[in-house]
Every structure is written in structure tokens, then in C-alpha cells.
Amino acid sequence: MEIADCYRLLGLRMGASYEDVKVAYRRLARRYHPDANPTNQQQAKEKFIQITEAYRRLTSVIQPSRSSVRQSASASGSSLPVTSPPPAPSPAPSASAPPLQKKPSIHITPDLSAIDCELKQESYEQLQQLLREQRFPRAVTLIEGLAHRLPKDIEVRQWQAITYQRFARYLVSLKQAEKAKRYLQKALRVDPHNRSLSQEIARDLQQIQQVESR
């Protein structure tokens, strides 16, 4: 989808700000959500998907203003620690793990409310940032809160498992093997049908056993 088409779908002029995009999306998502259009659900569903895709595309290329970032951080502060932890040491190469996808790319379904769609998008972006900064306890808190809000969302469970695995690998680098094993086991319980993840965790557990046997 072209950027110009995204602005058009949201009823905005080219170059509209990040905040304008969010406001327009909220308004249109409420209007075209299938639940709000019981007599014309199919057409509303198609429109809802289009504006959601436009919103995702624009928010992936437009940077929020500093004031918006501060407001977002304040709004999420109630469920996260107020003070930031001190900078953590960089993990050893063996403890590194690939991040989640660099560009926000989430699966939006019409059964999610407009508020939950926006919450999922923003939580994904915050999770990316926390993992990049190795602020794993806050990342765990964030994803567990989102999983509690959206317990049936398969994609959220995948993020939760990946976050647990990333934290576990970091704990290995800090020589906290027992705690690392607990988080690897939690990752398996959260996303038990992910074969690729299961194989990676099996290698992680084997690595921990080798370290412990030395």
C-alpha cells in the first residue's frame, strides 16, 4: 500500500503527524468496527482492515514527537517499574538472540476492538524498544500484561515466549542458570506448538548443562 493511499484512507493530508494518524485511526476504527455495524458487517470488516493496514503502514514510517513519547511512557508507567534499572552488561556472544522483527508487523483481526488494536500495536513497539535496550524485566512485565488482556491472541503468546527466551539467554550470560532454565520452561509452556522455538530452547538447555558441568 502506497503512503499516499494510507493518508487518503485515514482522511488525512500528506505529511500529517504521527498524532494525527492515531486520532484519525481511533475515530475510523470505532466507526467501521464490525460490532458497530451489525447490518452491514462484511463491508465494515473490509473497511476496518483497510484502515488498520494504513495505520500500521504509516506508524512504521512516521516518528512520534517527543511529547507523544513522553505521554506514552507516562500512560504505561502504572504497570511497569517507575525507576529504570541501571544499564546492564552486554551479554556474551553465546547468549545473544535475534530480536523480534525490526519493523512493526502485527496481525490485526476484526474481533479485536479498536482500543485493543491500538494497544497491541503500541505494546509491540514498546516491547521492541525494551528488548533492544536489554530491559528484560520490564519487557516481561509488558508482555505478560498484554497476554492477560488478549489471552486468545496466538501472536501475543509468540511474543511472550520469545521474550522469555531472550531473558533466559541474558540470564545465562549473568551465570544465573537456574533462573534461566525456569524462563525457558515458561517459554515452552506459553508456545508449546512452535517447533522452531522448541528446538532453540532445547539447544539453550543443552548449553546450560554444559556450562554447569564444567
- How many Cβ atoms are within 10 Å of 50's Cβ, its own excluded? 17
Quickly tell me which residue has 539467554 as its cell: 169
- 21 touches 68 (CB < 8 A): no
- 180 touches 188 (CB < 8 A): no
Q: What is the C-alpha separation between 134 and 91, in angstroms, rounded? A: 9
Q: How much is the average pLDDT of 180-208?
A: 92
CATH 1.10.287.110 for domain 1-61: yes
Q: Which three cell numbers stand for residue 180?
A: 534461566
Answer whether 0.95 is exceeded by the pTM: no
Confidence of residue 210 (pLDDT cuts 50, 70, 90): confident
pLDDT, tens digit, for every residue of 154-163?
Answer: 999 999 999 9
Domain boundary assignment for the chain: 1-61
pLDDT, tens digit, for every residue of 135-183?
Answer: 999 999 999 998 998 898 999 999 999 999 999 999 988 989 999 999 9
Residue 136 burial by Cβ neighbours in a 10 Å radius (0-12, 13-18, 19+): buried
Is residue 90 over pLDDT 50? no
Q: What is the C-alpha separation between 200 and 147, in angstroms, rounded? A: 22
